[in-house]
């Protein structure tokens, strides 16, 4: 079985200090160096987790205050391979799937 994009990204960041710096300063170029195709209109934010820090990612609020109660309808919870839980809009789910496919295609 081939290595997943997420696993390859983590292992490369652990082993390569220059890559680790690149994923925080220019994540698109870092991903592209791994054979990942990233759309121009998608923003990427990669953080190196610290052992002494707890991170929360807060999804964006509804565009209209009256819709705030429906936030889960705007942002779906999406679990992937029991390892990751993503909170993102449908369009970004499709972008992530495309990135994973391009990684597999370019690293076979």
CA separation for the pair 55, 72 (Å, rounded): 20
pLDDT of residue 93: 79
Q: What 8-state DSSP symbol labels residue 35?
A: T
Closest CA to 9 of 42, 38, 39, 48: 48
pLDDT per residue as tens digits for the range 25-67: 999 999 999 999 999 998 999 988 888 998 777 666 666 666 6
Closest CA to 55 of 65, 63, 45: 45
Backbone angles phi, psi at 84, to 5 degrees: -130, 145
CA separation for the pair 94, 99 (Å, rounded): 9
> Reduced to 3 states, what is the DSSP secondary structure of residue 87?
strand
pLDDT at 92 over 70: yes
Q: What confidence tier does 74 reach under pLDDT thresholds 50, 70, 90?
A: very low
């Amino acid at each position: 079985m081939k290595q997943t994009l997420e696993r390859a990204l983590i292992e490369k960041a652990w082993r390569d200090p220059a890559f680790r710096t690149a994923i925080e300063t220019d994540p698109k170029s870092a991903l592209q160096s791994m054979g990942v195709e990233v759309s121009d209109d998608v923003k990427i934010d990669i953080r190196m987790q610290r052992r002494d820090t707890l991170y929360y990612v807060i999804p964006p609020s509804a565009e209209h205050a009256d819709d705030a109660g429906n936030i889960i309808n705007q942002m779906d919870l999406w679990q992937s391979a029991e390892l990751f839980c993503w909170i993102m809009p449908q369009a970004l789910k499709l972008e992530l799937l495309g990135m994973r496919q391009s990684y597999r295609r370019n690293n076979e």
